[in-house]
Amino acid sequence: MRIVEAADRQAIRELLSPQRVRDADTDRRVAEIVADVREHGDEALLRYARTFDSLDGDAEIPRKHMEAAAKAVPPRVRAAIRTAAKNIRAVAKRQVPRGWKARVSPGITVQQRIVPLDRVGCYVPGGRYPLPSSLLMAAVPAAVAGVREVIAVCPRPEPVVMAAALEAGVSRLFRLGGAHAIAALAYGTESVPRVDKIVGPGNRFVASAKALIASDCGIDFYAGPTEILIVASRGPADWIAADLIAQAEHDPDARAVLITPNRKLAASVDKAVEEQMPGAGPARESLERHGGIIITSSARQAIYLANMAAPEHLVLDDERMATQVSNAGSVFVGPWTAQVAGDYAIGSNHVLPTAGAARVRGGLSGADFVRQITVQRLTARGLRAIGPSVVALARAEGLEGHARSIEIRLKGI
């Protein structure tokens, strides 16, 4: 791995602030696909599915087929799915906001109602490996929030993904992927119902499609390649190396970086990475292109750089550092809190903001699947109390009709 000094500003920018440049060719192709599906519905959707997803037969997977496939999943894996789902439910339940009603002043009441979304779409990637964990992370919080219908799409759903779908409470599962699946969820077709919001990670075509349809359909966020940033002053070096490699194996564009004030630890982790590194593959390519170790002058400087990077996953070896973190998608504290555990079964969500987006929001949660509706009530006394302020502000903005709307009521009191 590349080892750099914190004083090398150019190297720091390359490691911590990679440019996520949108691919114009990808965006153009995605726009064509989305427009085609939006206009021609199932005819276009199934054409793309046969071409890109190798679809042979119906797109929707019947529930009895899902149940039969799930029975073929090894019992220990089914048990692991149940454990993960249980923990995700427990966390998501705490995340859903609660309604309230407040008496602002005499005659003035404001209420907040929490209403679940009617229908959501969960995108599950179908790349090199099946990802039942991604389905659980997207669908379980939706079900906990009370969403009436949860639609899942996956280009190649293996039996383990179908088992996860059943456990998560998915209403319908479609053998669809890519930009055409996003378009179908966003605008609806004859067979795929239109959803209120689309969540879940995907490749660059999926990310581009989500960005494109965001003005017409809710999305979680625009997600780029995954990231892990480890801030540590002590070992074990082989554990740190294993964590860097684990995250790097997701994607050749993944970012995996260690920040440490300990030069000896830096050298030990570098050696351990080389010893543990598999042969050619995404992990090696990722660490060679985007991996590195930054040596800082102090632990304080290390945290400063971590906050500047706003990483998707931030791993800390010291509990005292946790309170100093302001920008991170998800934080893992202490040597036993392996980030990989968060990918599967801690209960926290692994659908997280990347490429610096953690500066403005956290990961997917139960709160993403509800509407917060405010309800206002005024009595005559309440209107009399605030009416003059409303009239003054309306006229200050030049909105005479607004002012008269209040004055006509005040005259009736």
Backbone angles phi, psi at 193, to 5 degrees: -75, 150
> Do 31 and 213 form a contact (C-beta atoms < 8 A)?
no
Instruction: Select from 268, 278, 346 the least CA-distant residue to 313.
Output: 346
> What is d(CA 54, CA 69) in angstroms, rounded to the nearest whole number?
19
Evaluate if residue 21 carries a pLDDT over 70.
no
Confidence of residue 321 (pLDDT cuts 50, 70, 90): very high
Confidence of residue 224 (pLDDT cuts 50, 70, 90): confident
Helix (H, G, I), strand (E, B), or coil: what is residue 375?
Answer: strand
Q: Which of 313, 319, 350, 397 does the annotation list as catalytic?
A: 313
Instruction: Please provide the average confidence, as pLDDT, over all residues in the chain.
Output: 95
Domains 2-18+225-347 and 24-219 are alike in CATH topology? yes
> What is d(CA 217, CA 194) in angstroms, rounded to the nearest whole number?
9
Residues in the chain: 413
Q: What angle do CA 221, 121, 47 make, to 5 degrees?
A: 105
* 190: number of Cβ within 10 Å: 11
In the annotation, is 312 catalytic?
Answer: yes
Q: What percent of the chain has pLDDT over 70?
A: 99
> Do 264 and 3 form a contact (C-beta atoms < 8 A)?
no
> What is d(CA 17, CA 14) in angstroms, rounded to the nearest whole number?
6
* Residue 413: predicted pLDDT: 87
Q: What percent of the chain has pLDDT over 90?
A: 90
For 298-312, what is each residue's pLDDT tens digit? 999 999 999 999 999
Architecture of domain 24-219: 3-Layer(aba) Sandwich (3.40)
* Residue 18: predicted pLDDT: 64
What is the residue whose two structure tokens read 């599906």?
37
What are the domain boundaries of the chain? Answer: 2-18+225-347, 24-219, 379-412
Evaluate if residue 128 carries a pLDDT over 80.
no
Q: Which of 312, 350, 397, 407 does the annotation list as catalytic?
A: 312
> What is d(CA 413, CA 407) in angstroms, rounded to the nearest whole number?
10
Q: What is the mean pLDDT of residues 170-198?
A: 98
For 80-119, what is each residue's pLDDT tens digit? 999 999 999 999 999 999 999 999 999 999 999 999 999 9
Confidence of residue 273 (pLDDT cuts 50, 70, 90): very high
Q: Which residues pair with 333 in a beta bridge?
A: 316
Evaluate if residue 42 carries a pLDDT over 80.
yes
> Do 157 and 172 form a contact (C-beta atoms < 8 A)?
no
* Residue 347: predicted pLDDT: 97
- Topology of 2-18+225-347 in CATH? Rossmann fold (3.40.50)
Q: What is the mean pLDDT of residues 41-50?
A: 98
